[in-house]
Amino acid sequence: MTTARDLAQDIQQQYGIDNLGAALAIVETYIDQISDDSDLYDSATDQLTPDGVAVIKGAVAAADAQDLYGTVATQALEALSERAVAAREATEERDALIRFLMTTEIPRKKIAEAGLVSEPRLYQIRDGR
């Protein structure tokens, strides 16, 4: 017999979930769906049977394979991806402007201030590092 917490710890480790509470929420969601089946869950002890563990692990694996996560988490992941792409593009644009300005008469200190970087970083950007 396995507790929800023990299974959540296994899932947390297997799937690289940083927060045990998030893994526990996943397990508890599945337990809610199978708790009325005594072959899968013992409500007297609040523990999963070996078959119940297998069912939940299978469901988690299937959801992971299809990238099915909670709505809020999925939206946050999509937002992070969009912001990361935008940040990369903005950094590339900033670096191009810095490279151009490094060829002008503008003092390096002014370029660094405008670009929110240090003066040594200007030279790294200029040199493609």
List, for residues 73-113, the tens digit of each pLDDT value: 778 888 999 999 999 999 999 999 999 999 999 999 999 99
Which runs of E-coded beta strand occur in 18-126? 41-42, 47-48
Flag whether pLDDT at 69 surpasses 90: no
- Nearest-5° angle of CA 76, CA 81, CA 87? 120
Average pLDDT, the chain: 93
What is the per-residue pLDDT for 87? 96
Flag whether pLDDT at 56 surpasses 90: yes
Q: Which amino acid is at 11?
A: I
Which residues constitute the domain of residue 24?
4-68
Question: Taking the chain, what is the end-to-end CA distance rounded to the nearest angstrom?
Answer: 55
Flag whether pLDDT at 48 surpasses 90: yes
What is the per-residue pLDDT for 14? 93
Q: Please, is 111 exposed, middle or buried when counting C-beta atoms within 10 Å of its C-beta (0-12, 13-18, 19+)?
A: buried
Which runs of E-coded beta strand occur in 1-65? 41-42, 47-48
Q: Are 7 and 56 in contact (CB under 8 A)?
A: yes
Tokens of 1: 């017999």
Based on the fold, state whether residues 31 and 48 are members of the same structural domain: yes
22 contact partners, CB below 8 Å, separation of at least 6: 12, 73
Average pLDDT in the 58-86 region? 86
Q: What is the percent of the chain where pLDDT is above 90?
A: 80
Average pLDDT in the 18-27 region? 90
Q: What is the percent of the chain where pLDDT is above 70?
A: 98
Helix pair 50-65, 4-15: axis angle to 10 deg: 30
Q: Of the residues 39, 68, 97, which one is the last residue of a structural domain?
A: 68
Based on the fold, state whether residues 59 and 11 are members of the same structural domain: yes
- Tally the domains of the chain: 2
56 contact partners, CB below 8 Å, separation of at least 6: 7, 27, 30, 31, 34, 48
Based on the fold, state whether residues 11 and 59 are members of the same structural domain: yes
What is the per-residue pLDDT for 76? 84
What is the per-residue pLDDT for 73? 77
Based on the fold, state whether residues 100 and 59 are members of the same structural domain: no
What is the per-residue pLDDT for 18? 87
